[in-house]
Structure 1
Amino acid sequence: MLNELSIKNFAIIEAISIPFQKGLTVLTGETGAGKSIIIDAVHLLVGGRGSAEFVRHGEEKAEIEGLFLLDDEKHPCYEKAKAFGLEIEEGMVILRRDIAKNGKSVCRINGKLVTISTLREIGSTLIDIHGQHEHQELMDETMHISLLDQFGADEIAAALEDYRQVYRAYDTTQRKLKNLSENEQQMAHRLDLLQFQFEEIQAANLQVNEDEELFEEKQKLGNFERIFEAVQSGYTALQSEQKGLDWIGLVMGHLQDAADLDPAYKEMYETVSASFYALEDVSTSLRNELELLEFDPRRLNEIEERLTEINGLKRKYGSTIAEILEYAAKIEEELETLQNKETHIGQLEQELSSLRKDLKLEAKQLTDLRKSWAKKLTKLIMKELKELYMEKTVFEIKFGTAGDGFTKNGSDKAEFFISTNPGEPLKPLSKIASGGELSRIMLALKSIFSKHQGVTSIIFDEVDTGVSGRVAQAIAEKIYKVSVNSQVLCISHLPQVAAMADTHLFIAKKTKAGRTKTTVTPLTIPEKIKEIGRMISGVEITDLTKQHAEELLQLANELKMAN
């Protein structure tokens, strides 16, 4: 849910910070007070198109920041954030957008700079803004199949995954066959290239870790003189007359005499004795090394040439010898395929034919399942529309076949159709023109899909325009019903909607020192009665108006208790 919204220097808003609660929050106020400006700010916060016109006159930039709290570890925002390398800690997502007076935007998510497209991707999982004439997911026919799948939940998801497993194998085989069926000239060029590469790698006769061993040997040859001098000096220090071993031997003799006289010196004698014989072994090893050490300039040249050859292959085929050999194995397999192309084409065609049969079966099962769930969804939507006094409306989900037969989502194309008056033909949902009808249809759909879409917050921006009376009451109840499953923020001019609010915010504008600014005030019960009375009567609020407002609030409370 949207927990808090901060807006600074945005349009006529100087600086406000609005805490939001769960459930239904209704924003009311006089026309022009800034209700829609607040929604505009939220729209920009989640990636809407920005403009320098939004920056308050005389200021350098507008600042919008929102804190969202996620109470579900499976919320789609987590997956999106992971894809963009963003971390979400303790279920908190902070979106921030600054718009400079030159029109440029700076976007951040949890303090990390992001692009506007990333902000839009993340924002789409947090807030769904619906205005009377704004086509959202429900109005986009390309999204109807995914909405139906969401409604079918785990049952359709399982069937779709079974289908996709076969589809992935089918798609891979199809691409292999297409690659093998390319024109002969391209195949011949490819074959020549692979043969050259494979022969070049084979001729090098590479050994794993060979380059590391050669480099180590090169280091030794390059430092030969210093190594020889150090070994020789070490041997001389140990073995020459009146040097290391002679003196340690002398110490060992003296301690042996002492140990023979007093056992207390035995341990010291044994320590020196062990050191003497160990150093004697070292001395012998050093002498052998000196006899073997020989500088060979030709070997150094051979190593340099071999390393140059290996580095040349690395530039072409991989950063390590292991990667080069792996690449060689890969192209050897492709070479074999190209050299025996006709045989492989036949095998792939057989495999593709078998996979196509499996795919048709999986696609049919998926289609049958979707049509079954479509009937359930249609029945629910008709029920919702009836409750909104659109009992003569006909809703239908029409199925077709996807363009090329099979896609990753199956072979189906589904679109929502509707007829709002008897005798009129069914038309695509996106072609509905009447604002009042559109509002009710959207609410009917939202009341069902809000449970399945996983969006944290839903904003209705004056979707109740053009309705009144019993329809207005029905719309108020539907908006509240949506708020049971998702946080709902609603700008409304209907007293019936305001009465259903869990939180009622009053938006007003004031003029101070020649400048206009917007204020947001949470209303108490008495203030709420007064505001609903104003919405009922217009300007003058009478005792009868207050009584009517109180009755609306009482009715709203009874309806909430019933739910």
Structure 2
Amino acid sequence: MLKELTIRNFAIIDYLSLSFEEGLTVLTGETGAGKSIIIDAIHLLVGGRGSSEFVRHGEKKAEIEGLFLLDGSDHPCYEKAREVGIEVEDEMVVLRREISSQGKSVCRINGKLVTLSTLREIGSALIDVHGQHEHQELMNDRFHLGLLDQYGGKEVQTAHDSYLDLYNEYEETSKQIQKLNENEQQMAHRLDLIQFQLNEIQKAKLVLNEDEELFNEKEKLSNFEKLFDALKTSYESLQGEQKGLDWTGLAMSHLETAAEIDTQFEKILEGVSHSFYILEDAARSVSAQLNQLEFDPERLNTIEARLNEINALKRKYGSTIEEIIEYASQIEEEIESITNRESRIRQLDEKIASLQKDLRLEGRNLTSIRKKWAKKLTQKILAQLKELYMDKTVFDVRFLPTKDDLFKSDGMDNVEFYITTNPGEPLKPLSKVASGGELSRIMLALKTIFSKHQGITSIIFDEVDTGVSGRVAQAIAEKIHQISVHSQVMCISHLPQVAAMADSHLFIAKKTSNGRTSTSVTKLEIAQKISEIGRMISGVEITDLTKEHAKELLQIANSIKNT
């Protein structure tokens, strides 16, 4: 849910800080007070198109920030955030967007700078803004198959996963065939090239980690004189007359005498004796190393030539020896594939035929399951529309004809929602429905069903109840409240019935101070709520009768919510 929203210097808003609750929040107020401006700000916060016109006159930039609370670790926002490397902690996401007076946008998610497309991707999992003429996914036929699959849940997902595994193998095999069927002259040139590359790599006879070992040996030979002097000085400091071992041996001899006189010196003697023998071993080891040291300038030249050869291969085929060897393995397979092209194509053609057969079976099974769920969805939507006094409506989840071998990643189906609201009229695509009042009710019926499946944190309705009144208005109010049971809902409305159903009621007003207009927001208590609903019922003048009517609407709303 959207928990907190802060807006600065946006249109006629100088500063607003709002806190939202779960359930249904209704925003009301006079026309032009700034209700839609708040929704516009939220829309921009989740990736909507920005413009310098949104920046308050005389200010350098507009700022919008929102805190969202996620419900559980399975929220789709987590996966989207992981894909772009954003950490989500304590089930909280903070979105921030700044728009400069030059029209430039700066977007952040949990403090990390992101592109507008990333903000839009994450925002789409958090908020669904639905205006009177904004169909979005529910009204766009490209998304209808996905919505049906969401409704079908695990059964559809399992069937789709089985199909998708085969489809991915089918696509990969098709690409291999296409590659082998390329122009023969191009294939011959390709074969010459990769054969030369393979010969060059094989001729080098690379060994894993060889470059590291050679580099260490080169460092040793390049610093031979320095190494020799260091070892020689070390040895001479330990071994010889009046050197380290002589003095340590002398100390040990005198400590032996002291220990014979007083046993408390035995421990010191033991330590010095131990050190003497360690130094003696070290001196022998240094001497052995000095005897083995030999400067070979030819070896240094050989190492440098070998490293140059390896580096030349790295520039062509990979940044490490392991990558070069792996590349050689890949082109070796490709050479074999091209050399045995005809037999390889026959093998792949046989594989494709087998995969097509299996894909048809899996695809038809997926279609069968989808059609079963389509019937259930149709019944569910018709039941919702009946509650919205559209009982004459005919709705159909239509499976459009497709070619038998037209395999897609989402199956073999093209699905589109069809509807007619008038008896005797033919069914038409949902996207072609034009009546504002009917469109609002159809959308609400769909939202009531799909809000449970889409996982959207918050849904915003911007005057979707325009063009309805009477019993239909009451039905719409109840439907919006039903949606708010599963998702936080914010709604701009001019209907008193919708306002009465609100769990939280915000009144939006304009005020003028120092010659500047700004928007204010007041959270209404019960008495203020009665007055505002009364104003929505009667218009300008609020009478005792309209207040009684407002109280009655609130009582009805509470009764409905309690049941």
- Short-chain TM bin: over 0.9
Describe how 1:304-453 pairs up with structure 2 within 5 A. 304-401=304-401, 405-453=406-454
Q: Given the superposition, is the C-alpha separation of residues 231 and 94 from structure 1 closer, same or farther in structure 2, using an over 3 Å criterion?
A: closer
Residue 489 of structure 1 corresponds to: 490
- Pair 1:526-2:547 in alignment: no
Letter paired with 1:507:
I
SS of 1:79's partner is: helix
Are the structure 2 counterparts of residues 448 and 267 from structure 1 closer, same or farther at C-alpha, using a change threshold of 3 Å? closer
Aligned ranges 1:492-503 → 2 under 5 Å = 492-503=493-504
Given that residues 533 and 546 in structure 1 are in contact (C-alpha distance below 8 angstroms), is that contact kept between their aligned partners in structure 2?
A: yes
Residues 283 and 118 (structure 1), Cα distance of their counterparts in 2 relative to 1, 3 Å cut: closer
260-269 or 164-173, larger mean C-alpha shift:
260-269
Indicate the SS of the match to 1:520: strand
CA distance in 2, matches of 1:549, 1:525: 11
Contact 1:457 1:487 in 2 (8 A): yes
Relative distance call for 1:111 and 1:257 in structure 2 (3 A) is: closer
Matched, 1:58 2:62: no
Say whether 1:465 aligns with 2:466: yes
Q: Contact 1:2–1:66 (CA<8 Å) still a contact in 2?
A: yes
Give how far 1:250 is off.
4.6
CA–CA distance in structure 1, aligned partners of residues 90 and 278 of structure 2: 62
- What SS class does the counterpart of residue 151 from structure 1 fall into? helix
Deviations 1:77-110 (A, max 9, x none): 1111111111212111111222222222222212
TM-score scaled to structure 2, two decimals? Answer: 0.95
Cα distance in 1 between the residues matched to 2:13 and 2:261: 102
Q: Name the structure 2 match of 1:201.
A: 201
1:235 shift after superposition: 3.1
Counterpart code for 1:150: Q
- 2:179 partner letter: N
Q: Say if 1:258 and 1:400 are closer, same or farther in 2 by CA, change over 3 A.
A: same
Aligned to 2:150: 150
Mapped partners of 1:261, 1:25: distance in 2: 96
Partner of 2:518: 517
Separation in 1 of the partners of 2:218 and 2:297?
A: 11
The answer for the alignment partner of 2:132 in structure 1 is 132
- For residues 99 and 267 of structure 1, what CA distance do their matches in structure 2 show? 78
Moved more, 547-556 or 230-239: 230-239
Distance in 2 of aligned mates of 1:101 and 1:259: 90
Q: 1:217 to 1:528 in 2, by over 3 A?
A: same
Q: CA deviation at 1:239?
A: 3.6
Per-residue CA deviation, residues 344-390 of structure 1 (Å, 9 max, x unaligned), is 11211122221211111111111000000000000011111111111
Task: Supply the RMSD in Å over aligned alpha carbons.
Answer: 2.0
Alignment of 1:24-173 (within 5 A): 24-173=24-173
Q: Structure 1 pair 288/529, CA: closer, same or farther in 2 (3 Å)?
A: closer
Q: After superposing the two structures, state which structure 1 stretch, 139-148 or 160-169, moved more.
A: 160-169
SS, match of residue 361 in structure 2: helix
Per the alignment, residue 541 of structure 2 pairs with 540
What's the CA shift for 1:521? 1.1
Q: Distance in 2 between matches of 1:113 and 1:509?
A: 34
Deviation at 1:262, TM superposition (A): 7.2
| Structure 1 residues 255 and 395: alpha-carbon distance in aligned structure 2, compared to 1, 3 A threshold | same
Q: State how far apart, in whole Å, the 2-side matches of 1:303 and 1:495 are.
A: 88
The residue matched to 2:189 in structure 1 has which SS?
A: helix
Q: CA deviation at 1:241?
A: 3.7
- Matched residue SS, 1:6: strand
Instruction: In structure 2, give the amino acid aligned to 1:130.
Output: H
Distance of aligned partners of 1:74 and 1:268 in 2 relative to their CA distance in 1, 3 Å threshold: closer
Distance in structure 2 (CA, Å) of the matches to 1:170 and 1:66: 44
| % same residue | 67
TM-aligned CA deviation for residue 290 of structure 1:
3.1
In 1, the alpha carbon distance for the partners of 2:42 and 2:118 equals 16
Structure 1 residue 253: deviation in Å? 5.1
- Measured after TM superposition, the shift of residue 244 of structure 1 is 3.7
Secondary structure at the residue paired with 1:62? strand
Closer/same/farther in 2, CA of residues 183 and 242 from structure 1, 3 Å limit: same
| Number of residues of Structure 1 aligned to a counterpart in Structure 2 | 562
CA deviation vs aligned residue, 1:104-135 (integer Å, no higher than 9, x gap): 22222122222211111111111111111112
Q: CA deviation at 1:260?
A: 6.9
CA distance in 2, matches of 1:497, 1:392: 24
CA contact (8 A) 1:401 1:411 kept: no
Do the aligned partners of 1:7 and 1:13 also contact (CA within 8 Å) in 2? yes
3-state DSSP class of the match of 2:552?
A: helix
Query: What's the secondary structure of 1:506's corresponding residue?
Result: strand
Pair 1:179 & 2:142 matched? no
Structure 1's 391 and 265: CA in aligned 2 closer, same or farther, altered over 3 A? closer
SS in 1 for 2:58: coil
SS at match of 2:108: strand
Aligned to 2:232: 232
Cα distance per residue 1:224-268 (max 9 Å; x no partner): 112222223333334434434444455555556666777776666
How far the C-alpha of 1:288 sits from its partner, in A, is: 3.6
Could you tell me how far apart the structure 2 residues matched to 1:233 and 1:518 are? 85
**Partner in structure 2 of residue 5 of structure 1:** 5
Paired with 1:512 and 1:280, the residues of 2 have a C-alpha distance of 93
Task: Give 5+ residue unaligned stretches, structure 2.
Answer: none
CA contact (8 A) 1:132 1:463 kept: yes
Q: 1:216 to 1:385 in 2, by over 3 A?
A: same
Query: Which amino acid in structure 2 is aligned with residue 477 of structure 1?
Result: E
Query: Counterpart amino acid of 1:527?
Result: Q
1: distance between equivalents of 2:267 and 2:12?
93
Q: Aligned to 1:311, what secondary structure does the other structure show?
A: helix
Unaligned runs of 5+ in 1: none
Distance in structure 2 (CA, Å) of the matches to 1:557 and 1:45: 33
Q: Could you tell which deviates more after superposition, 320-329 or 129-138?
A: 320-329
Q: Secondary structure at the match of 1:178?
A: helix
